[in-house]
Amino acid sequence: MSIAAYVRVSSRHQKDDSQRAEIQKWMDANGIDPKQVEWYADKESGTTMKRPAFEKLQADIFHGKVKSVILWKLDRLSRRLRDGITTLADWAERGLKIVVVTQQLEFNGAVGRTLAALLMGLAEIEWEYRKERQLAGIEVAKKRGVYKGRQFGTTKAKPKRAIELRDKGSSAAEIATALGISERTVFRYVGREAA
């Protein structure tokens, strides 16, 4: 075994089928023999690095069993900038090739490590700016008397879309970002469907 495919969803009820399908599609297009690939799958939050499959992957990398790591998306590795950069830097220093299929990225060596750090940093900055712009817009609307908040019983997004994204393996945080709602609202939409 020399190729590792890592997938992660954030909770037990989520499925990683869409991640696996995208990675498999990429492997097929690149002529990679499935016998060369070992799959590592976690159902844990990306905010912690203590995940069983991830720890096994790290051990296999340390013992030289893995030469390439394939990810569906960079945030599957970690939701925290520092942890993601540290991990990618370590992998790059070990000479691993890192492929992120949905973002069409390949990292290895010093250039790969630097590029990965830059991309993760930009993603975090954009997230912070988005929150600041939203708050600034709300303040302006309040001063003009236009913004009165959301009326009780209304929905900011389509609950069905939240459920579709969950079923595709997206985490609550990803669904919240995609739909422009809070994670609490995501859980309310998903819980409503389960009830």
Domain limits, the chain: 3-119, 154-195
DSSP per residue, 18-54? HHHHHHHHHHHHTT--GGGEEEEEEES-TT-S--HHH
Q: Tell me: pLDDT of 18 over 70.
A: yes
Sign of CA dihedral 146, 150, 152, 155: positive
Distance CA 42, CA 22 (A): 17
Residue with tokens 């302006």: 140
Q: How confident is the model at residue 7 (pLDDT cuts 50, 70, 90)?
A: very high
Single-letter amino acid code for the residue at 97: K
Q: Of the given ranges (47-56, 111-120, 133-142), which has the lowest mean pLDDT?
A: 111-120
Cα separation values, 45 from 34, 77, 132, Å:
27, 10, 25
Average pLDDT in the chain: 83
Segment 50-68 mean pLDDT = 92
CB-based burial of residue 126 (10 Å sphere; 0-12 exposed, 13-18 middle, 19+ buried)?
exposed
Angle ∠(114,9,187) on CA atoms, nearest 5: 120
Higher pLDDT, 106 or 1: 106
Strands (E) in 30-162, as ranges, are 37-43, 68-71, 97-100, 105-107
Higher pLDDT, 118 or 127: 118
The CATH number for 154-195, chosen from 1.10.10.60, 3.60.15.10, 3.40.50.12160, 3.40.50.2300, is: 1.10.10.60
Q: Is the pTM of this model over 0.85?
A: no
Segment 9-27 mean pLDDT = 89
Q: Tell me: pLDDT of 113 over 80.
A: no
Tokens of 68: 């390439």
As a whole-number percent, the residues of the chain with pLDDT over 70 amount to 88
Position 12 scores a pLDDT of 80
Tokens of 79: 């939701």
Q: Tell me: pLDDT of 135 over 80.
A: yes
pLDDT digits (tens, 9 = 90+) for 32-54: 998 899 999 998 887 788 899 99
CATH superfamily of 3-119: Resolvase, N-terminal catalytic domain (3.40.50.1390)
Position 24 scores a pLDDT of 93
Segment 113-121 mean pLDDT = 72
